Amino acid sequence: MTRPSLSVCIITYNQVGFLPFVLANVEGLADEIVVLDSFSTDGTAELAAAHPKVRFSQRPFTDFGSQKNALFELAQGDWILNVDQDELLGDTLRAAVPRLVAAARVTHYKLPRYWVLSGPPWRYVDSEAHTPDWCLRLFRNQPQFRYASDQVVHHHFPREGRGTGKKWPDGHIFHFDFVLKDRAQRVAKYEEYMRRDPRSANTHRMELYEEHDFRCRACKEPLTVPGLAEGWWRTARLASSDA
């Protein structure tokens, strides 16, 4: 039986400092890495295009839903793993992906996500808003897994026609938004999201974790990435904020 192929799909814009870690994190499990860039000006485009596993394209950005739909249309794999440019897969999740996509009757998986606050050792924000954060990110490359046209920021696939899905709690996506952006950048992001989609104010407020009742807890899953070292995020933040 032929092994299902996997397209790791990433939209990018001005994230040259962190993108090398993202590509290194997924290159071992991807048959292809599909990158759709919104005309970055900081070297992100050149870095992605030079990677041997990347199929690179560019498209003007209008909103997140349509940009990701365009990205998915470029994918050639049997399955799609949708990863944001500020996310890494934990070691347990990365090791499990080949087994997950080999399931015969499952069409999609929801994966838990850590909102990383500091590290290493990695610690995450634990609050009612941030934990658990289930994300439908691993799915068969089929037309029903596309976002509705009105989902411009926080997007969800229509429930009709999804088929049989599962939650897989044993491995996490590590989300580094809080590490890569300082408070002022996150406030600006929140305000931009509110301008685009004022109906989703509670979801947008996840960016402002300080306004939630939260605890900082140790991540239970290891995360190993080539080149990862204490203090790397400071360089990544500076490179990204210079754009």
Q: Which domain holds residue 46?
A: 6-241
Question: What is the CATH number for 42?
Answer: 3.90.550
* 64-114 per-position pLDDT tens digit: 889 999 999 999 999 999 999 999 999 999 999 999 999 989 999 999 999
Q: What share of the chain is helix, strand, coil (3-state, %, to 5)?
A: 30, 25, 45
**Residue pointed to by tokens 């249309």:** 73
* 166-217 per-position pLDDT tens digit: 999 999 999 999 999 999 999 998 898 888 888 888 888 889 999 999 999 9
Pair type for strands 108-118 and 134-140: antiparallel
Please report which confidence band the pLDDT of residue 23 belongs to, taking 50, 70 and 90 as the band edges.
very high
Pair type for strands 32-37 and 54-58: parallel
- Residue 236 · residue 33 · CB < 8 Å: no
Total domains in the fold of the chain: 1
**Residue 76 CB coordination number (10 Å):** 12
Residue of 107, 141, 117 lying closest to 5 (CA atoms): 141
| Residue 133 is assigned to a structural domain of this protein | yes
Please report which confidence band the pLDDT of residue 226 belongs to, taking 50, 70 and 90 as the band edges.
low
| Residue 1 is assigned to a structural domain of this protein | no
Q: Which residues pair with 10 in a beta bridge?
A: 35
| Residue 59 is assigned to a structural domain of this protein | yes
